[in-house]
Chains A and B, each alone.
Chain A
């Protein structure tokens, strides 16, 4: 093996070029795609990549958010602001509407609505006839996701069949589907949490404020910091503390926990991310910890 001679792209440029290529393949192969935008850091990167892929034209797809009604206001405000800045169409569909229709039935009023997003997502796919949903999931997030294709096929019930996936070779993606079926496309599959933060730094991307260190009342429970909010009030016997925290992922309030941190800039978050000892979802997601296969189970039911 000889030394490095031929000019090649830096790792971040390579990841960016791959993601742009994937976005353009979705636009070229699918008739009616949509990009899922939650206001979270991964989908904020997706929007920058879509700008690089399609400007000066408009995006060849609308943006959509499946709102559980339990999202932090800082994040949904940011979502609306970003969509308006880009001048792109934002569709919001709400789990609460599915509850009103009776298609989502909670076991009890306090149950997390996170997994019920799948129902609302499938209803929205049907309503608009989307044949592809572009999402910001990454393979390094979770072990079931490590096995997922970049273009992942879902049947008419939105189900993922992990044992029967289309082989994916070279960069020849197969995004074909019949009516009623759809493709989930993941342009940043090959990115890690560190890559995402490096990209945010390089592109100087704006983020919702809760990604940065702030003081928040929390209760320490089963190794996680559970935020005390109107939706998740402290229970009798809970010790409420004001702690300097930041969110590594932002999702449904009822199942996303912050981590202790004084990182109030992207640079400090990068430094923390490079030296952390706990995985992104391990530190923050209550919904992934119920069993070893909980993500896989949700994905089989139509979840991202």
Chain B
């Protein structure tokens, strides 16, 4: 019990929540335009774009993580660019985890939003257009408020999915205290070190936390969210 009072013990959780929060925030910024574009624009290579977005659903996280590692290291394209801009590479850094998580959780944000956009009454959109409102204003004032349950679903699922991430983080983040050691990695560490009581503590807290989130989602959003985990 003594370890629960140690701030070091809680550090991975703090990092996990921070990562999930920032990832979800960016996913809204990225996911809304992508889902909007997919829902309302006709173009030739739609299937290609949809397949790319859905890839993280089927690829083993280690495959994604491996390619991220190549791209994020200082020899990689993104890592080199990042180093020029911010003075550090992306691999083994919190920023890298954020970018990796955004891509990894993208389908969990885009799919609920896409079904929200598609189910949206198109006459309301047209009505706003006849009222002289441009596309951006219509999106902000008419469409997003109308699909707020999809927004909530996308946010909660992306958040939960980021909390539960392991493979990608392990590949690109390594295991740096306070930088990349999130809760799921901490558990792995403790098990490796045969420190089962610590592993238990971490696991149980993560277990309870995940359950609480999902329970809240099902109570609040009910049917809207069901099935979205397999989206």
A joins B in a complex? no
Write the residues of chain B forming the contact surface with A, with a CB cutoff of 8 angstroms. Answer: none
